[in-house]
Structure 1
Amino acid sequence: MAKYQKLLEPLKIGKVELKNRFIMLPMTIEKVDNYHVTDDLVDFYEQRAKGGVGLIEIGSCYVCDCFGTEPKYHTTTGACGCWDDEFIPGYKRIADVCHPHGAKIAAQLQLCYEWRASGDDPLLSYAPSADVPSGPFVGMPEREYTKEEIAEVVKQYGQAARRCKEAGIDIIEIHAGIGYMVMRFLSKYSNHRTDEYGGSPENRARLLTEIIDEVHRTCGDDMPILIRISADDLMPDGNRIEDTLELIPIIEAHGVDAWSIQAGFHEAPRPVANQIVPEGEFIGLAKQCKTVTNKPVWPGTRINSLDMCDKVVNEGYGDAVGMARQFIADPATAGKVAAGHPEQVRPCIVCSRCLDNIFIGKPCQCSVNANVWQGVEVGLPEDHPADQKQHVVVVGAGPGGMEAARVAALRGHKVTVVDHSDRVGGLLNMAQVLNANIEPLVTYWQGEAKLHPNINVVLKQDVDVNYLKSLNPDQVILSPGGGIIPIDVPGIDGKNVVKSEDIKAMCNGKVPEGKGMLWKAAVAAIKAQGGTVGFMRMGLNMASGPTAIVGKRVVVVGGGFAGLEVAEAMCDNREITVIDPAKKLGNGIGIIDKNPTLNLLKKKGVKLMPLTELIEVTKKGAKVKNVETGEEQLLECDTVLTSVGVEANTKLYDEVVKVWPHAKLIGDATTPDGKVYRTLEAVKGGYEASMAI
């Protein structure tokens, strides 16, 4: 069987047949208007249906009235309301645009941490047991459910399901995972009740089984029901996989048609979705769940690559595979596989920028797909062909420049991309050496450069105004990269100093200015092997040794996103210290990744020194000063590695705009003071620039 073909086989969930085994997991993407479905949300789901997904799940369909409230848990504000019949038309719009493309639709019925019986009551944080803290931002529960209130919750779920059925929704999912309300009843960690809703597995499952019974009562026994559950909640004294294996038959006896398996609580001490979690970390939980049910089961935590999807369905980990972020990154993932072009799939880089926004109640964004953020207001390039075909010259083949080129080409323009490097990718070429999640994105951009016949890429070419004139462009988009933030201290040009621009040059196939034989040998080796990432890593010599470019004892200057990524990539077999004058490290890292990243570095033995600035580099190491106390000390080391980020770079733009007044400057060349621009900002800038032509 050809690779990925099993993913394209149909699968039945109850009476509903899916055309393939790609499941788009539910996410609350904050594209609603006061809990009502918007044009933007309809467009979002329609794109994924056109893109070939077998089952699309609408995330967080809230069952209790939230009108006029201010939930402590910010994500609630982005939910689709499902507590009143006035919401039925919105769900019908989603079903009506997705069904013609062959996608089936599930609605995920949801309660997070807050609840009220009606719009006349205050919205309060509820829990099965008032002695256990609620989830993020919520604190201790304000109320413990009474049995009468539980009965009202059950009715709300049943009526929400009825509305979804009337709207044409195919499957009802009940969210019983990640520490939300139903899971808090299931888990031994959060349920300490002594009545019939606590204690034994049957009792802890009672809320869920009563909801299932009510959905069958309101929708009929033929409405497929899907349960999303955390098979290991990762909480102290909580549910382990053994508990879930005991719960599944109890729950399934009430009529369940499929199981979506995840892991964790949002407040679990162990991360589940970050880059630092290995892909496929939790697929074994789904495989174990398959031992106690003959219904379809699929894993759906920390999966983003087609190879992992293939492993899941071919090695018995699941009957299908659930992903969310990958379908945000590329709505056409499934369709490209079906068309025989998996190499054209735009990869999710697991950067969590989507979750950073969603988790605090802001609209979803994506580092590789700007349309998610821009939505219907800006639209898709293929839906907005250019009225007048023009010659667009893009300076810089990094993510911003390549996105500008892609979008302009899709709109029908002739595009010339020019870069001084010998390969496309810009800073991503260095980033992929430090972070393997970036490597597929560089490969994607290399493919895109060859895919579009009206894109011409010119490499190893320096650019000035005269060169641009020779190309005779109608439009110019500049993405030259940010300027290097200078560090002006004695000894900064010493042989024991490695600057981020040195690593960038090496990754671009150039020997950094002033570097000796070791660097020349590393660059030669990279070129001899075709610039492969493996040889770039070898050139950097991640494992310390007598010929290492970076020594065994390292002081990293810069505790922001870039510096911490360098520290994490290089800390094996090294003694790493990170210094930064800021009070807190991690500038540029979002809410989802910041604490897990800092905790991982500490666990790996990296010494973090905030409030510390570099004042001199000596042959013995880095002389530093505490910015509050003024106390100085010498940090003895073999290498001082600077990674302080970039600043605005308008030098070329200031010249170009004199000739082409409508020229656009994008990417980290536009970085404001104190900000960190990453791939997301570059791609968004490129998308906007070319959509505006």
Structure 2
Amino acid sequence: MSSPQHSAAASRYRSLLSPLDLGPFEVRNRIVMGSMHTGLEDDPSDAKKLAAYLGERARGGVGLIVTGGFSPDRSGRLTPRGSQADARTLRAHELITREVHEADGRIVLQLLHAGRYAFHPLSASPSGGKSPLSPFRSRRLTRGGVQRTIDHFAEAARRAVDAGYDGVEIMGSEGYLLNQFLAPATNHRRDRWGRTSEGRRAVPLAIAAAVRDAIGDDALLSYRISLLDLVPEGQTWTETTALAQSLVRAGVDVLSTGIGWHEARVPTIVTSVPRAAFAEQTQHLRELVGVPVVASNRIHDPDVAEQVLASGQADLISMARPLLADPQLPNKLADGRAGQVLACISCNQACLDKVFDGKRASCLVNPRAAHETELVLTPVIERRIRKVAVVGAGPAGLEAALAAAERGHIVTLYEATDEIGGQLRLAARIPGKEDYAQALQSWRMRLAAAGVGIRLGMRPTATELQGFHDVIVATGVAPREIALERSGGPEVISYADLLEGRAEAGEKVAIIGAGGIGVDVAEYLTAPRPSPTLDVGRWREHWGVVDADSTRGGVITRPREEARREVHLLQRKETRIGAGLGRTTGWVHRAELRHAGVIQHRGVTYERIDEAGLHITEDGEARVLDVDTVVVCAGQVSVNALADEVIAERRGRAPRVHVIGGADVAAELDAERAIRQAVQVAAGL
């Protein structure tokens, strides 16, 4: 008999948690763990780690898992040593499929040919040429090469099913090979694989038919279809729907939607993209095909996912990064613990940025992701339970307190202010980063559920901490001050005072420091109000997203908008402003700065401030910036004096002192490093 709590949860997420018949089998809910490369796919010797990673998501209750992409042949690998669905690899994957099936899960292998996106000299594409994402020029596939590629997809699909996979997904989105065949921008062929829209879709259809024949009717065939290419000379909506209907006739069971090519100059998955921004396109497709359709891209909030399903916009929801963040997400929804879901903030810092740098992915808010066999939080036996004080409730302190409590320790969390969050709380006030507040709310709920004692507005002394076995100092950072001669002139404020609302900026502003915080402050001062992130229509207009039948690819040049302020962004370094930002998100911030007309200064020396303004030297010449406000974003300094005070005060064996996060290293405020360090310390208590 179900509990009232479980029944209420089932009612709240009735659509999301209901089973669905996908043809060959039924899935237990509508939550799909979408394809996401972690780096564990590339070497068959990592199969055990990949099995632990995917198995934990299956035990967490996800309905269907889609693996990271595996190429059908060497030419289609993303990197020289990238993942390939060859015989050796898929023999090792029997461990993965067994792990998922033992948890009553379902899993399909994604087949992905990189085409011109491949980062190696063997790359091949419909018409040859070089993409913006690779230094290698791809060769043009011959007619024989096209047929061999079709055969390779079929052979790889057959091997996947033999290895225990419940089916395969064909990657036809994001600008990879099949998407390249579909778009006039990249398919200039004059044979039967090009020339007309029918010719351009012939290769994807031939591959779908060959794969269907190879895997039989008892395995699932999913196709990842691009609904909006968001590149000039991409597909029209009419072409996209014609492809979708033809794919269904070719035997595809499920259409999983994708948005935008990797080279598109429109963001599609970062935090500043509105939630469910592309669900309307999914609904239009669903109305034209007779198979289940999966919605994707920034559907991270379970309530938003439920709304998308309940309104008939989709049949399933793809949640890739949210399940990286919280593998127990489906179970928590079913058990009435939605408030405890660890919220993905779409930052990309530890997942996609790592993958694009050739490193293993993880998750900023869950450093155990893809490291399940290495970072283990083992429950403590009763005689080893310790009393732990965590001082500072920024991201590092929050996660240290939570991880220690979940292991079974008795934890008290102290925070000198009246709110948790630290620097993350400030970041949540930047337009486009509103979702950061959701992460803080989930920390509050999880801390309460774990039994952590929270003391807000308290700054414990070294003496008061002597009764604990361990003291974790997570007191964070303070804004770095700069020594500048001043004689009147513009008001000088710190970024913290600005974002906390203790100070305001005028109409003409100079920002000293162009690291991540300086860029955030520039956007805070120039972004349209209200934030386009909170309004899909305004966001589409802001980025030039239009109907794909009116303009091929569904994108136009961004319209100019009236500047809110005159803002100067200055840095000492000669390098490009924003060069240190994330690999997959930095370009978005740089584009916003350009769009807002932010004036950028590099190689600057700061001289003095007086009634004339901010005096600087730039390119060897003296200049004066006539501004009324100077915002200092010149870095941070660690606040960690408490650690020395506790050590000086202690008597006997207790307490042990651990310094983590910004209190340990303040350089470039790295929340990923801080949270990982917090969990590692908690794992070692």
Paired position in structure 1 for 2:352 = 355
Return the letter of the residue paired with 1:397: A
In structure 2, do the counterparts of structure 1 residues 367 and 14 end up closer, same or farther at CA, with 3 Å as the change threshold? same
Deviations 1:576-635 (A, max 9, x none): 221111222226421111122111111022222222243223345322221xx3322221
Structure with the larger RCO, 1 or 2 (CA within 8 Å, 6+ apart):
2
Instruction: Tell me the distance in 2 between the aligned counterparts of 1:344 and 1:294.
Output: 36
Paired position in structure 1 for 2:12 = 3
Deviation of 1:394 (Å): 0.9
Q: Are 1:600 and 2:596 matched, yes or no? A: no
Deviation of 1:686 (Å): 0.9
Instruction: Tell me the distance in 2 between the aligned counterparts of 1:241 and 1:381.
Output: 52
Instruction: Tell me the distance in 2 between the aligned counterparts of 1:389 and 1:108.
Output: 44
Return the letter of the residue paired with 1:459: L
Paired position in structure 1 for 2:114 = 112
Moved more, 428-437 or 5-14: 428-437
Paired position in structure 2 for 1:591 = 583
Deviations 1:346-397 (A, max 9, x none): 1111111111101121100211111126431122455x66761111111111
Q: Are 1:21 and 2:30 matched, yes or no? A: yes
Deviation of 1:428 (Å): 2.1
Deviation of 1:461 (Å): 1.8
Moved more, 597-606 or 489-498: 489-498
Question: Contact 1:201–1:246 (CA<8 Å) still a contact in 2?
Answer: no
Question: Contact 2:48–2:96 (CA<8 Å) still a contact in 1?
Answer: no
Question: Contact 2:173–2:259 (CA<8 Å) still a contact in 1?
Answer: yes
Q: Are 1:499 and 2:494 matched, yes or no? A: yes
Deviation of 1:503 (Å): 4.2
- Residue in structure 2 matching 1:365, options 362, 371, 388: 362
- Residue in structure 1 matching 2:298, options 278, 299, 302: 302
Instruction: Tell me the distance in 2 between the aligned counterparts of 1:425 and 1:494.
Output: 34
Deviation of 1:653 (Å): 2.3
Q: Is there any run of 5+ residues in structure 1 with no aligned partner, and where?
A: 117-121, 508-518, 520-539, 541-548
Q: Are 1:670 and 2:625 matched, yes or no? A: no
Instruction: Tell me the distance in 2 between the aligned counterparts of 1:219 and 1:294.
Output: 21
Question: Contact 1:386–1:411 (CA<8 Å) still a contact in 2?
Answer: no
Q: Are 1:574 and 2:565 matched, yes or no? A: yes
Deviations 1:137-169 (A, max 9, x none): 24431x211111122112211111111111221
Question: Contact 1:92–1:167 (CA<8 Å) still a contact in 2?
Answer: yes
**TM-score of the aligned structures, taking structure 2 as reference length:** 0.87
Return the letter of the residue paired with 2:658: K
Question: Contact 1:63–1:82 (CA<8 Å) still a contact in 2?
Answer: yes
Instruction: Tell me the distance in 2 between the aligned counterparts of 1:177 and 1:579.
Output: 39
- Residue in structure 1 matching 2:246, options 241, 250, 257: 250
- Residue in structure 2 matching 1:551, options 498, 503, 506: 506
In structure 2, do the counterparts of structure 1 residues 644 and 410 end up closer, same or farther at CA, with 3 Å as the change threshold? same
Deviations 1:103-145 (A, max 9, x none): 21011011113799xxxxx961111102x4335124431x211
Question: Contact 2:49–2:370 (CA<8 Å) still a contact in 1?
Answer: no
Return the letter of the residue paired with 1:103: G
In structure 2, do the counterparts of structure 1 residues 211 and 380 end up closer, same or farther at CA, with 3 Å as the change threshold? farther
- Residue in structure 2 matching 1:237, options 222, 233, 236: 233
Q: Are 1:632 and 2:634 matched, yes or no? A: no
Matches within 5 A, 1:56-75: 56-65=65-74, 73-74=78-79
Deviation of 1:494 (Å): 7.6
In structure 2, do the counterparts of structure 1 residues 585 and 135 end up closer, same or farther at CA, with 3 Å as the change threshold? closer
Paired position in structure 2 for 1:440 = 438
Deviation of 1:212 (Å): 1.9
In structure 2, do the counterparts of structure 1 residues 318 and 351 end up closer, same or farther at CA, with 3 Å as the change threshold? same
In structure 2, do the counterparts of structure 1 residues 613 and 195 end up closer, same or farther at CA, with 3 Å as the change threshold? same
In structure 2, do the counterparts of structure 1 residues 273 and 466 end up closer, same or farther at CA, with 3 Å as the change threshold? same
In structure 2, do the counterparts of structure 1 residues 386 and 235 end up closer, same or farther at CA, with 3 Å as the change threshold? farther
Deviation of 1:399 (Å): 1.0
Deviation of 1:449 (Å): 2.7
In structure 2, do the counterparts of structure 1 residues 386 and 187 end up closer, same or farther at CA, with 3 Å as the change threshold? farther
Return the letter of the residue paired with 2:601: M
Return the letter of the residue paired with 1:113: G
What secondary structure is seen at the aligned counterpart in 2 of 1:376?
A: coil
What is the RMSD computed on CA atoms of the aligned residues?
A: 2.4
Paired position in structure 2 for 1:200 = 196
Deviation of 1:228 (Å): 0.2
- Residue in structure 1 matching 2:91, options 89, 92, 102: 89
Question: Contact 2:386–2:470 (CA<8 Å) still a contact in 1?
Answer: yes
Deviation of 1:677 (Å): 2.6
Question: Contact 1:430–1:503 (CA<8 Å) still a contact in 2?
Answer: no
Deviation of 1:260 (Å): 0.7
Instruction: Tell me the distance in 1 between the aligned counterparts of 2:181 and 2:382.
Output: 55
- Residue in structure 2 matching 1:345, options 341, 346, 358: 341
Return the letter of the residue paired with 2:181: F
Instruction: Tell me the distance in 2 between the aligned counterparts of 1:586 and 1:200.
Output: 42
Instruction: Tell me the distance in 2 between the aligned counterparts of 1:642 and 1:123.
Output: 46
Question: Contact 1:432–1:439 (CA<8 Å) still a contact in 2?
Answer: yes
- Residue in structure 2 matching 1:417, options 404, 413, 416: 413
Deviation of 1:54 (Å): 0.5
Paired position in structure 1 for 2:471 = 476
Question: Contact 1:346–1:444 (CA<8 Å) still a contact in 2?
Answer: yes
**TM-score of the aligned structures, taking structure 1 as reference length:** 0.86
Instruction: Tell me the distance in 2 between the aligned counterparts of 1:255 and 1:212.
Output: 7
Deviations 1:81-110 (A, max 9, x none): 3122x2233322222111233321011011
In structure 2, do the counterparts of structure 1 residues 35 and 178 end up closer, same or farther at CA, with 3 Å as the change threshold? farther
Instruction: Tell me the distance in 1 between the aligned counterparts of 2:382 and 2:403.
Output: 11
Paired position in structure 1 for 2:211 = 215
Return the letter of the residue paired with 1:638: D
Return the letter of the residue paired with 1:576: V
Deviation of 1:77 (Å): 4.2
- The alignment-based identity, stated in percent, is 29
Paired position in structure 1 for 2:557 = none
Paired position in structure 2 for 1:52 = 61
Instruction: Tell me the distance in 1 between the aligned counterparts of 2:117 and 2:154.
Output: 16
In structure 2, do the counterparts of structure 1 residues 139 and 432 end up closer, same or farther at CA, with 3 Å as the change threshold? same
Deviation of 1:296 (Å): 0.5
What secondary structure is seen at the aligned counterpart in 1 of 2:66?
A: strand
Instruction: Tell me the distance in 2 between the aligned counterparts of 1:432 and 1:481.
Output: 17
Instruction: Tell me the distance in 1 between the aligned counterparts of 2:82 and 2:491.
Output: 51
Q: Are 1:610 and 2:605 matched, yes or no? A: no
Matches within 5 A, 1:117-196: 124-130=122-128, 132-134=129-131, 136-141=133-138, 143-196=139-192
In structure 2, do the counterparts of structure 1 residues 575 and 186 end up closer, same or farther at CA, with 3 Å as the change threshold? same
- Residue in structure 1 matching 2:518, options 531, 545, 563: 563
Return the letter of the residue paired with 2:16: L
Deviation of 1:78 (Å): 5.0
In structure 2, do the counterparts of structure 1 residues 11 and 277 end up closer, same or farther at CA, with 3 Å as the change threshold? same
What secondary structure is seen at the aligned counterpart in 2 of 1:274?
A: coil
Question: Contact 1:602–1:608 (CA<8 Å) still a contact in 2?
Answer: no
Return the letter of the residue paired with 2:479: I
Question: Contact 1:355–1:364 (CA<8 Å) still a contact in 2?
Answer: yes
What secondary structure is seen at the aligned counterpart in 1 of 2:123?
A: strand
In structure 2, do the counterparts of structure 1 residues 615 and 587 end up closer, same or farther at CA, with 3 Å as the change threshold? farther
Paired residues in the alignment total 631
Instruction: Tell me the distance in 1 between the aligned counterparts of 2:396 and 2:85.
Output: 39
What secondary structure is seen at the aligned counterpart in 1 of 2:369?
A: helix
Question: Contact 2:462–2:646 (CA<8 Å) still a contact in 1?
Answer: yes
Return the letter of the residue paired with 1:679: A
Return the letter of the residue paired with 2:438: P
Deviation of 1:171 (Å): 2.2
Instruction: Tell me the distance in 2 between the aligned counterparts of 1:44 and 1:598.
Output: 34
Return the letter of the residue paired with 1:352: N
Q: Is there any run of 5+ residues in structure 2 with no aligned partner, and where?
A: 1-9, 529-563
